[in-house]
Structures are given as structure tokens and as C-alpha cells.
Amino acid sequence: MSQVPVAVVTGGSRGIGKAVADECMSLGFRVVLVARSARNLEQACRELSEKHAPDAAHQPDMVSVDVADVAAVKAAADDIIRRHGHVDLLFNAAGISIPGTFELDAETFTRLFEINLRAPFLFMQAFLPHMAAQGGGRVVNVASRNGKVAVAGLGGYSASKYGLVGLSESAYRAYAAQGISITTICPGWVNTEMAANEGPSLRPEEMVQPEDVAKTLRWLLSMSPSVRVMEVMLECAKDVERRASVELAKLYALKHRHEDEFSTLDVQAES
């Protein structure tokens, strides 16, 4: 069995997952990319091979599977263990975003949960026992800023990501003593196809870049073994500025409407 560390990256054919797979190869991992489209997976593996010129032990591998299919995910996870013998890093990036809350039909609502929440659950369920048996490992789950702060009109997606934040936090505590680090990354808009398809309020260059998420992984891996990072939030600077202006405008409007109450408050301006 090869001693080369193995990184399984779901959603590794495009966007965030592909940038993370690239970073993993730079860090010396053998990557296993997981997604549905075999064509996109092959293309990603080809690009990674051309860029990194890996030796035989570091050749990127791929698994084409619909992560919404429970039996297929279990079979894929078993197959990865059989082929590689171990998994050292699980990076769950496969996900979908569908706008809507009560406009969503029950099947669509369920699908968001199957892909964004149940799939990371299934991959963790499959790989955590192996990591525990080998004395350690790392899991990174990509949730979203929408998994921390819900906005109107995105209730189904937000609910699935809030669920993932909760699942990750529970696992983070449960597996800490077994040398397993579990981190949730919660980004705002990331410059990928997913964001482009949603008609985002920011220009591509104003978003978090997929490489920023990859650099977050590099940073996590650089930490001393004595450190655990439960959660990382990556916000778009423009988004933060805009929200701050909206909040300030609301505050001024409120102040104007309730001048008398405000004048009785002893509030010092922050320097």
C-alpha cells in the first residue's frame, strides 16, 4: 500500500473543488476527484497531470458518482479504500444551490438536503472510522455564509448549509480526541459557475476566489497538531462594506424617528 497521502475531493471537477485538488497536488497528496460528469472529471485530471507532472504514485484518480445516491456513495467510498488503502483528507465541496423557500416543491427541498448535507454525512460516515483506525486525518466541509446568516429567498439552501454546520461541529467535537481535525469553511460569493448562474450582486473579481478556499486548506494543514480550527468564514469585502452601510443607514433612520429616546442614551462614538 502506498504511503502517499490521499485526498478525496468531492466536487473536484470544477470550481472550489478543482482549485482545492490543485492545491492538494502541490502539497504532495494523491487526489481522488468525485463528481457526476465523467467528462469534466477526465478533463480536470488531465489538466492537473499536465500542471503537476506527477509520478505514478501521485496520478490523480477520479470517481464518477451522484452523491445523492446513498448506495452508490457507499460503494464509491468502499472502492476508494480498496484502491488506495487509506484516506488522509476528505474535502466535501460537491453541492448545489437552488434559490427559493416555500416556492420550492418538497422534492427540490429534499434534493438540496441529499446533496449538500446527506452526502457529506455519508462520506464522513465511511471515512472517519478508517481515519480513526490509522490514528488521524482531516475533514473539511464547505458550507456557506448562508449556513451562518440566512437571507430571504434562499431558505432551502440555507437550511441545508445550517445543517452541515451543525453536523460538522458535532463531528469536530466527537473526533478531536482521535487526532481528526474537522473544519467547516463558510464562504460568501465564490467566483465559480455556481455563483455565475445565480446572477450575483458582485463582479467576479469582487468575490472570494476558489484559490482563496484552497489557500485556507493550505493554512489549515500548516497548523501545529495541537491546534483545531472549527470554522472559517470567508466574506467578500464589498459585501461586508455594503451590509455595514445598510446597517448604518437603518440606524440613522431609527435615530431620526426616535430622536427623544436616542438623546437619553449615553453612547460614545467609537474611535
Chain contacts with ligand NAP (rule: CB under 6 A): 11, 13-17, 35-37, 40, 66-68, 93-97, 115, 142, 144, 187, 189-190, 192-195
Phi, psi of 135 (to 5 degrees): 90, 10
Active site residue 157: yes
Who contacts 216 (Cβ-Cβ below 8 Å, separation ≥6)?
Answer: 185, 232, 234
Q: How far is the CB of 10 from ligand NAP (least distance, A)?
A: 6
- Indicate the residue among 37 and 245 with the shorter CB distance to ligand NAP: 37
- Indicate the residue among 69 and 179 with the shorter CB distance to ligand NAP: 69
Phi, psi of 169 (to 5 degrees): -65, -40
Residues across the chain: 271
Q: What is the maximum alpha-carbon separation in the chain? A: 75
| HSE, side-chain direction, 13 A CA sphere, residue 243 | 10
- Indicate the residue among 63 and 131 with the shorter CB distance to ligand NAP: 63
Q: How far is the CB of 71 from ligand NAP (least distance, A)?
A: 14
Distance CA 21, CA 144 (A): 19
- Indicate the residue among 238 and 255 with the shorter CB distance to ligand NAP: 238
Q: How far is the CB of 135 from ligand NAP (least distance, A)?
A: 29
CA distances for 63 relative to 4, 41, 46, 79, angstroms: 19, 8, 14, 9
Q: Which of 157, 162, 172, 175 is catalytic?
A: 157
Q: How far is the CB of 13 from ligand NAP (least distance, A)?
A: 4
Active-site residues, by number, are 157
